[in-house]
Amino acid sequence: MKKIIVLALVMSILSMGLIGCSTEKSTKNDVPLQKVTVMLDWFPNTNHSGLYVAKDQGYYAQEGLDVNIVQPSEGGNPQLVAAGKSDFAISYQEEVTIARSQNIPIVALAAVIHHNTSGFASPVSKNIKTPKDFEGKTYGGWGSPAETAVLKVLMAKYGADVNKVKMVNVGSADFFASMEKGIDFSWIFEGWTGIEAKTKGIELNFIKLKDEDKILDYYTPVIIASENKISQDPELVKKFMKATAKGYNYAIDNPDKTAAILIKSVPELNKDLVTASQAYISKEYKSDASRWGEMKSEVWKNYADFMFANKLIDKNIQTEQAFTNKFLPE
């Protein structure tokens, strides 16, 4: 589910000049490196650790790639990738499904996290323990119709009415600040905001989507590329995904070292939060999948059907064209 906060646009704009597939000499061994850009979906966090590990540990360089990790920009990642403004990007299943329904030719290459770790959170003082308790409360969201659709499905299972929830668009406002300004609950990722609450000593009630309904156990986030990139330069995609998978597998096996790499790469991040978040999320990257990044067709179909049934997309998609596992190393 979309949680994009458009930060550091100056960084993104400056990076645009580096986008593409030109080559330059490596200063270490005089080997031509292919320049590649990958765009994040949000400010750098532990969802992205595998990318930073692959860059820091030289996995991209070993594949002949000079990878530039850039901040999100205006226009939406699927649109930018489809237009060739970035070679790869971080997105999520809902965004890819919407893009495909609008004939935007982008494809998911890997699930960064195998199960959906997001859900609805509230301070324990709000006494929100089940979706039934959403009635009479104020929800702080980012104004997406999908939020209402998900709330409606969850509440219906408990005999509750979504129309009894007050919806407030808080945009990119901080979760903790929102809770002090009249908001009762919001949609968060357990591995970041949930962990941040623990580091702050704040107790939360957390309703995890995947535990409430199988349909809501979709892939978020995912790595995407354009159909054009895949067809014209499959070798680049293969090399990028090989190194990226190696980075995430390193993160799975070495959470403390990975946290240190991310903090070194993005020193403005909170060290305690990154370390705690990495310990949590390293177990979630692969989870019960046979390999990191693996995606299932039924997960894509179930959520696409849900989106179409709830009029979140105007037409349903051919889910087998929305994702591929073929670039994941065995």
Q: pTM of this prediction?
A: 0.89
Closest to 99 in 3D by CA, of 84, 82, 87, 119: 82
* Residue whose pair of structure tokens reads 């990738």 in the numeric block: 81
How distant, in Å, are the alpha carbons of 2, 237, 265, 288 from that of 225?
Answer: 18, 8, 24, 25
Per-residue pLDDT of the chain (330 residues; tens, 9 = 90+): 333 333 333 333 334 433 444 334 444 456 789 999 999 999 999 999 999 999 999 999 999 999 999 998 877 899 999 999 999 999 999 999 999 999 999 999 999 999 999 999 999 999 999 999 999 999 999 988 999 999 999 999 999 999 999 999 998 889 999 999 999 999 999 999 999 999 999 999 999 999 999 999 999 999 999 999 999 999 999 999 999 999 999 999 999 999 999 999 999 999 999 999 999 999 999 999 999 999 999 999 999 999 999 999 999 999 999 999 999 998
The conformation of residue 193, written as its DSSP 8-state character, comes to I
Angle at the Cα of 147 (from 153 to 323), degrees rounded to 5? 90
The structure tokens listed for 305 are 């059907």
* Domains of the chain and any CATH numbers: 9-114+219-321 (3.40.190.10), 118-216 (3.40.190.10)
